[in-house]
Structure formats: C-alpha cells, structure tokens
C-alpha cells in the first residue's frame, strides 16, 4: 500500500491564513504592519530566487519586507554592521539572512549579530538553546515546519525511534532537539556513520536533511515508517528515493510541496509573533 502524502502546501495554506489575520490585527493596533528585513549577500541565482519568493509571501499575508542587498565581496565586519543596525531598528520585527553566504564571510558571526527577539529564522545559538531546553523562543524554520506538518496529520512521536540524517546547525541538529522534546528516541547520522542503511532500517521516523540526492534508498525504509525529506537538489529531487520509499512508508513528504512550504509559512508566522511580542 502506498504511503499517505504529507501535503505541506495544503497545511501551509491554513497557517498562512491565520498569520494574515494576526498581521491585520497587529497592523490595526500598532498603526503599521509587521516588518521582515531580508539580507542577501552576492548574486547567487538560487538565493535571489528564494528571497524573492519570501518577499512575495510577505506581501500576500500583510507583512512589510525590507530588502538589503550587499555585494559578493562584502566582509564579515560589514555584514555584521548591517545586521546590527537592523537589530537596533524599531521598525524591523524580524531579520532573515539568506544563506549560504560567500566563503569569505564568517556565517556564524553574522547569524549571532541578529538580536534574539528578531531571529525569526531560528539560526542563532540563543534560539538553538531555547529549542534544546524547551524554553520560549523561535524555532529554526525548517525543523519547526516539520513538526507542524507532523502535528497536522496527528502523527505521534512519543516512544518512536527517529533517525535524523544530517547534522547541520540550522536543520539536522535542531530537528533532533524538537523530536526529543516530543519524547522520540533520536539518533543522528552523518558522513562518519557506519552502515547508514541498517540504522535507517530501524527508524519509525526518518528525517533526511543532508543535501545529497536520493541518498536514502527506498529499500532502507521500515514498513509503515514516517519519511520526511528536507532535502532539495537540482531537478526537484530530494534526499530520499521517493518512489521506492513511498511503497514502504506509512507517510511521506513530497519534493517539492512537502517541507518547503512549511518552512516559509513558519518564517512568516514567527515574524508576526516577533512583532506582537514587541507590542
């Protein structure tokens, strides 16, 4: 029996509707809409497309967007100065630094220049600590979006074995923390993992977040498992061998239309949340 598709496009639509309503309410009371600043360094076509898409979504839900574009040869110091200025600007509620940034930039230093109350993409160490300790704060958008998608389909996590393939600081690591907070038993896999296939075969929940096309083979999937593909590679290919995995899984996310729409929806929701918290 084929897996049930976890439709991130449909679920995100409902989330965007509620976010738009909250944005209208905020604008009525504050006299201005919530505002998101997007920071783009360089001319990477994919990054430019992503920023354009996020700004378009902002307009649809009533969030003002401010575009900050810097040349590809920008230094870490210059970028940190720009982000610090946005952090201090009362007219800005959230800050998104589009990543990856050019190689000469210390990306972590740039992320840490974002004020915690404006880290609506959930990329700072402050936000990671809040996720890890279960304290109030912003979730990394893709991990947070994944949990919201699972919740929309009433997928229980307590007591289930979750395998996260990937350990990036804004995807793999935080999604593991969020799964752990839901009482899943979490295993992280990475490039040094011995016999990845055998580890994945034991998983009730698989989150693929490594950025390698079809690394996770369909034959590895435990029958009835939940498969979340957070990868996106050229040609609309995820990190999971979709067709084969869908024959074995109980639930699976498509690429595109699964995790991606949830990521953007959570970013916008958290921008409104940041505006509301400032009052």
Pick from 48, 83, 117: which residue ends a domain?
Answer: 117
> What angle separates helix 141-152 from helix 259-278, to the nearest 10 degrees?
110
SS3 220: helix
**For the purposes of burial, counting CB atoms within 10 Å of the CB of 161, is it exposed (0-12), middle (13-18) or buried (19 or more)?**
middle
Token pair in block for residue 235? 């040609």
Using one digit for the tens of pLDDT, what is the confidence trace for 150-186?
A: 999 999 999 999 999 999 999 999 999 999 999 999 9
Element (H, E) at 246: helix 242-246
List residues with catalytic annotation.
54, 98, 121
How many domains does the structure of the chain reveal?
2
Range of the domain at 185: 141-258
Using one digit for the tens of pLDDT, what is the confidence trace for 44-64?
A: 998 999 999 999 999 999 999
Both 106 and 159 in a single domain?
Answer: no
Using one digit for the tens of pLDDT, what is the confidence trace for 182-209?
A: 999 999 999 999 999 999 999 999 999 9
- Is 245 contained in some domain? yes
Query: Which residues partner with 165 through β-bridges?
Result: 189, 208
Both 160 and 252 in a single domain?
Answer: yes
The answer, yes or no, to whether residue 279 has pLDDT greater than 80, is: no
- Is 273 contained in some domain? no
- Is 9 contained in some domain? no
Tell me, what CATH number does 175's domain have? 3.40.50.720
Using one digit for the tens of pLDDT, what is the confidence trace for 217-271?
A: 999 999 999 999 999 999 999 999 999 999 999 999 999 999 999 999 999 999 9
Q: Looking at residue 2, what is its pLDDT?
A: 86
Q: What is the mean pLDDT of the chain?
A: 97
The answer, yes or no, to whether residue 3 has pLDDT greater than 80, is: yes
Both 149 and 216 in a single domain?
Answer: yes
Both 251 and 183 in a single domain?
Answer: yes
Band of pLDDT at residue 84, cut at 50, 70 and 90:
very high
Both 221 and 146 in a single domain?
Answer: yes
- Is 47 contained in some domain? yes
Both 166 and 67 in a single domain?
Answer: no
Both 153 and 71 in a single domain?
Answer: no
Both 191 and 252 in a single domain?
Answer: yes
Tell me, what CATH number does 59's domain have? 3.40.50.10860
Both 152 and 67 in a single domain?
Answer: no
Band of pLDDT at residue 278, cut at 50, 70 and 90:
confident
Both 148 and 248 in a single domain?
Answer: yes
The answer, yes or no, to whether residue 1 has pLDDT greater than 80, is: no
Both 155 and 203 in a single domain?
Answer: yes
């Amino acid at each position: 029996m084929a897996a049930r598709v976890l439709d991130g496009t449909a679920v995100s639509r409902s989330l965007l509707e509620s976010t738009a309503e909250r944005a209208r309410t905020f604008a009525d009371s504050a006299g201005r809409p919530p505002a998101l600043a997007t920071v783009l360094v360089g001319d990477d076509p994919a990054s430019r497309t992503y920023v354009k898409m996020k700004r378009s979504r902002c307009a649809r839900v009533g969030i003002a967007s401010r575009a900050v574009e810097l040349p590809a040869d920008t230094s870490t110091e210059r970028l940190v100065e720009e982000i610090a200025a946005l952090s201090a600007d009362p007219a800005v509620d959230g800050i998104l630094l589009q990543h990856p940034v050019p190689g000469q930039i210390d990306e972590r230093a740039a992320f840490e220049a974002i004020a915690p109350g404006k880290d609506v993409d959930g990329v700072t160490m402050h936000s990671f600590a809040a996720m890890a300790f279960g304290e109030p704060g912003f979730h990394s958008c893709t991990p947070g979006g994944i949990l919201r998608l699972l919740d929309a389909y009433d997928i229980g996590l307590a007591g289930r074995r979750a395998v996260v393939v990937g350990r990036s600081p804004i995807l793999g690591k935080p999604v593991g923390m969020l799964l752990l907070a839901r009482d899943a038993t979490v295993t992280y896999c990475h490039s040094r993992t011995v016999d990845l296939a055998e580890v994945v075969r034991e998983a009730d929940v698989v989150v693929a977040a490594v950025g390698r096309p079809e690394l996770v083979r369909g034959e590895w999937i435990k029958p009835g498992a939940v498969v979340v593909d957070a990868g996106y590679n050229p040609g609309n290919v995820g990190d999971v061998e979709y067709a084969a995995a869908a024959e074995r899984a109980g639930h699976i996310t498509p690429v595109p239309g699964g995790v991606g729409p949830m990521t953007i929806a959570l970013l916008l929701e958290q921008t409104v949340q940041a505006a509301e918290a400032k009052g």
